[in-house]
Structures are given as C-alpha cells and as structure tokens.
Chains A and B, each alone.
Chain A
Amino acid sequence: MKELDPIQKRLLEEVAGLHKVPVGAYNIRANGESAGRVSTANIEIVPKEDGAGIDIHIKPKTKNESVHIPVVLTKTGLREVVYNDFYIGEDADVVIVAGCGIDNCGNQDSEHDGIHRFYLEKNARVKYVEKHFGSGEGKGKRILNPGTEVYMKEGSTMEMEMVQIKGVDNTNRITTAELDKDAKLLVRERLMTHGDQNALSTYVVKLNGDGSKADVVSRSVAKDNSYQKFNAKLVGNAACSGHTECDSIIMDNGNILAVPGLEANNTNAALVHEAAIGKIAGDQIIKLMTLGLTESEAEEQIINGFLK
C-alpha cells in the first residue's frame, strides 16, 4: 500500500475508523488514485476498465467478512466522479464500510461524487456504513454528492448507516432502492450542517414485492445559516410496509425543509411517515444544567446524543 500523508491518515480514521491497513478486502482511494487494494478468496475487487471506479464481487455464502472502500481527498481543485458496483451473492452476509473525507486547504472547490450500486442476490445481507467528513481552512468548498442505488432480490436485507457530521459544504445525496419479495431495507441517516452549508437528501424506495419492508429514519441538526432538505418517498407497489421519519433540531438561523412522501399503488401497502422539526427543548437544557453543565455544554450533549 502507498504511504499516506498525515492528513490523509486522519481523514481515513474519521470516515472509516481505520488506523492501519484494514483486515479483509479493501480499496483505498487517495487524490483520485488507488492507494492500496486487496482482494480475498471470497471478495474480489476489480478496477473498471476506464479507471473510474471498481467492481466488487462477493461470492455466495460469504459470511462475516468486510470490505473497506474509503476515499480521501487532500488536493484542492480535484473533482472526480467514481462508480463502484457491488455484487453480493446469495446468502452472503457482509459489512461494507465506505466514506469520504475531504481536506481542502486551497481556494478551489474539491468534489467527490461517489455512485454506489448494490445488487443483492436472494437472502443476501449487507450492513453498509458510510461516513462523510470535511476539514481544511481554504476558501475552496468541500463538495460530496453521493448517489446510492440498491437492488434487492427476494429475502435480502440491507442496513445502511449514513453519517455526515462536520465540514462538508455542499451535499446532494440521492438514494434509490427497489425491493423484491420479503426484502428489507433499514436506513439510519445522521446529518449535521453548520456555517453556510447546504445538504439535500432524497430517497425513493420502491416496495415492489409482497412482504417487503422499508424503514428510513433521518435525524439531523441544522446550525448557523445552514440549509437542509430531506425528501423521502416510499412507493408501495405490493403488500408491503414502509415507515419514514425525519426528526430535526434547528438552531440559530438554520433552515430545514422536510418533504415526506408516500405513494400507495396496492390496497395492502401500509405506509407511514413522521416528521418533526423543532429547537432543543428548554427543559432538556435546564435538566442538564441542574447536573452542573453550562448551557452550551448541555446543548452539545443533547446534540451528541441525538446524533448518536
């Protein structure tokens, strides 16, 4: 593996919790190039011919293995679009850790648009963790536009944890999923924006098979002058059940637009949405102050807990 510089190492730790070379299969991309790639007996990582991404093939019945595919950007002005395709075999059960960290110290915008496509075969199970992080003092913006497409065959399960807590100036996240019979999708999104940041998150989940289930939950905090839009649409085309929830804390001059959407095309589709936006409850702050925390410490603890 190529030696990473200290900033790249710090980003890697933020987005993938990695201090060293991960166990199992991995592909680390740094400043638009591969910095290290390892396949295992069951998980094969193949670069696409045009160089713009990788294909990850996970053999049927692969159990308890993981794939790490983090991306770090430290070069100002670098813009890239990367396509990563995951093929997950029948009855496989794996953890996939992605994530992107950008450190932009320059004055030009840095942008990484990662398009991830997941093809889950029958009864495959995936836990997908994606963290986004930005740092650097430059005037150039840190932009991340992740696109995620999930195609789920009968009985497959996908659990997605998407976290963006700090430092990303602009995000336009689009996630789509199509679920066959008895497939199950769980999404937990955690988002915090601050400064003049802008974050859009759109979900379109099509429940096409009987017995399919989706649960899309977003918790977010908008501070300073930041703006967020959460747009989650569930489409029930079968005897399915779906739930979407957007729970947000708004602070300072923050601005949040929640647009929950439900579309039922089958009388046996049971779809529910919930959305709540509000400031931190005053009695929560008072309670923590009676334990000896200052007002700002109390706010910090409440937000940390909310986004945990």
Chain B
Amino acid sequence: MLEVKNLSFVVNADGVEKQIIKNVSFTIEKEKLVCITGPNGGGKSTLARLIAGIEKPTSGKIILNGVDITDKTITERAKLGIGFAFQQPVRFKGLQVFDLIKLAKGDDINVAKACEYLSAVGLCARDYIDREVNNSLSGGELKRIEIATLLAKGSILSIFDEPEAGIDLWSFQNLIQVFKNMRSNIKDSSILIISHQERILNIADELIVIRDGEIVELGKRDTVLPKLIGASAPVNACSKLV
C-alpha cells in the first residue's frame, strides 16, 4: 500500500539548516489503521504533509501501490487516492458545506447523498448543508466537516492530522465512533491518523512513535501501546530540571 523509504526533510531557517525528518522508513499495509504518535514538535504533522505532497522531501521515496509518488503534485496524489484532513481546517468565504462535499466527491451528487456524509460525522445535515464554511462555524464543527469531506472523497489512504485537536469531549466520543466505522469499512484502503489520544491509539492496528524526526517505536498496537502508557512521559524529561 504505502511505502516510505529513507525519507528526510530539511528546512533552512535564517541560514541554519534544521532536519525535521531524519531518514524515516515504514510501510502501511492494506486494510490497516495506523497511528503516528509522539511528542509535540517531533515531526508527525510534517511527515503527514510530506505524504500528501504539501511539503517536498529533501531525500527519500514515497511509494503508493507500487507507484513512486515522490515527485507528484498534491493534485496528482489526491487523484491517485490520498486524502488529507487538516489539523486546522481551512475556512472559505462563500463556499458552502454542500459545495465542499461535492468537490470532494468529484461528481454532481445530490443533497441527500451529501447529507449522509454529514450525518456520519454526527452533524444534523439539514442545519449544515447550506452553511458557509466560514468563521460562523466553530472549530469542532469545521473539524467534523473536514472529516466528512474525506469520507466523501473515498481515498485509498486517508490521512488525518490530529483529528481530536479542537474537538470538545462530547464530539470526541462521536469521533471515535466515526473512526471505528471507517475501520470496519476499510476494505481495499488504509487509514493513517496522527494523534495523541490514547482512545484513538487504542483502535489502531499498528503504532509508530516519532521523536525528534526519528522513529523510536514501530509495531503492533499491543506491543507498542503498553510501553507508551507505562512510560512516565513519551519524551525524556528536560535534563536541566532533573
């Protein structure tokens, strides 16, 4: 399904080179839900953006179903079957929720079909279908609409960048259910979720832990999760304080 080979990403900030992703390699098999976790600033979101094509790697390869997509554009990757849900969903003045779902689906769907995707993320479709995707929507509402666009798109690999960020507790309960449903309908596809939430990690098949741009743990959930929960912190305590 997805192979990431020796991927590195270096940025140049004010003349100083900083390596955000350091020679990372892993594979996501078909019909698996994989979670990437790890401390803030460790490179998780960057890795997701590299896979979606929003950032270009400095070196390494990304292969999707045997096709090298390293040099492909965001659009080409989307057409090849990569879906990406933003950590902070984008707002649009004028574009309505229905427009966005229609664009995601890629054909002229009717309102009833669009409503199904909204209902799946726990939104009362009738109240939202005509709303503008602008500042009038709360962070949690936007987040759910973002996930609905991904459901509508129907990707081979759906990537969610911290879907729990900005979602209230009540919505979080629904969110877990959305992912459980996606997991049970995963046929011929895979899901990659960047998350800090134990309850999301709990529904994963495999976990990847990234710290300082490197993979520090990788394996089946039952093997990796106990190590994370058992540890006092997923990151070494600040040595100056110890």
The residues of A with any CB-CB pair to B shorter than 8 Å are: 219, 247, 281, 283-284, 286-295, 301-302, 304-308
Contact B94 A307 (CB under 8 A): yes
- Residue B73 at the A interface, CB < 8 A? yes
CA distance A284 to B74 in the complex (A): 13
- Residue B10 at the A interface, CB < 8 A? no
CA distance A291 to B92 in the complex (A): 15
B residues 54-106 touching A (CB-CB < 8 Å) = 54, 73-75, 78-79, 82-84, 86, 89-90, 92-96, 99, 103-104, 106
Q: List 17 A-B contacts (CB under 8 A).
A: A219-B94, A286-B90, A289-B75, A290-B54, A290-B84, A291-B104, A292-B75, A292-B79, A292-B106, A293-B103, A295-B75, A301-B103, A302-B95, A306-B92, A306-B94, A306-B95, A307-B94
CA distance A93 to B74 in the complex (A): 51
CA distance A283 to B142 in the complex (A): 15
Residues on B with C-beta less than 8 A from A247 are 93
**Residue from A292, A295, A305 within 8 A of B96 (CB atoms):** A305
The residues of B with any CB-CB pair to A shorter than 8 Å are: 52, 54, 73-75, 78-79, 82-84, 86, 89-90, 92-96, 99, 103-104, 106, 149, 153
Q: A281-B90, A286-B74 are in contact. Are A292 and B153 (CB under 8 A)?
A: yes
Contact B93 A293 (CB under 8 A): no
Chain A nearest CB: distance from B122 CB in Å? Answer: 21
Contact A301 B99 (CB under 8 A): yes
A contact patch SS: helix
Chain A nearest CB: distance from B13 CB in Å? Answer: 19
Residues on B with C-beta less than 8 A from A294 are 75
Chain B nearest CB: distance from A279 CB in Å? Answer: 13
Contact A306 B93 (CB under 8 A): yes
CA distance A306 to B96 in the complex (A): 10
**Residue from B78, B92, B95 within 8 A of A290 (CB atoms):** B78
B contact patch SS: mixed
CA distance A304 to B93 in the complex (A): 10
For A307, the closest partner residue in chain B by CB is B94
CA distance A247 to B93 in the complex (A): 10
Further contacts, 18 of them, CB under 8 A, given A287-B86, A290-B74, A308-B96 = A219-B94, A247-B93, A281-B90, A287-B89, A287-B90, A288-B103, A289-B74, A289-B75, A290-B78, A290-B83, A291-B106, A292-B78, A292-B79, A293-B103, A295-B75, A301-B103, A305-B92, A306-B95
CA distance A283 to B75 in the complex (A): 14
For A247, the closest partner residue in chain B by CB is B93
Chain A nearest CB: distance from B117 CB in Å? Answer: 13
Contact A301 B95 (CB under 8 A): yes
CA distance A283 to B54 in the complex (A): 10
CA distance A293 to B54 in the complex (A): 14
CA distance A281 to B94 in the complex (A): 14
Residues on B with C-beta less than 8 A from A284 are 90, 92
Contact A289 B78 (CB under 8 A): yes
CA distance A219 to B134 in the complex (A): 15
Contact A289 B73 (CB under 8 A): yes
For B85, the closest partner residue in chain A by CB is A290
CA distance A292 to B106 in the complex (A): 8
The 3 A-B pairs of least Cβ separation, nearest first, read A305-B95, A305-B94, A292-B78
Residues on B with C-beta less than 8 A from A295 are 75
Residues on B with C-beta less than 8 A from A289 are 73-75, 78
Chain B nearest CB: distance from A287 CB in Å? Answer: 4
Residues on B with C-beta less than 8 A from A287 are 86, 89-90
CA distance A303 to B70 in the complex (A): 30
CA distance A306 to B153 in the complex (A): 23
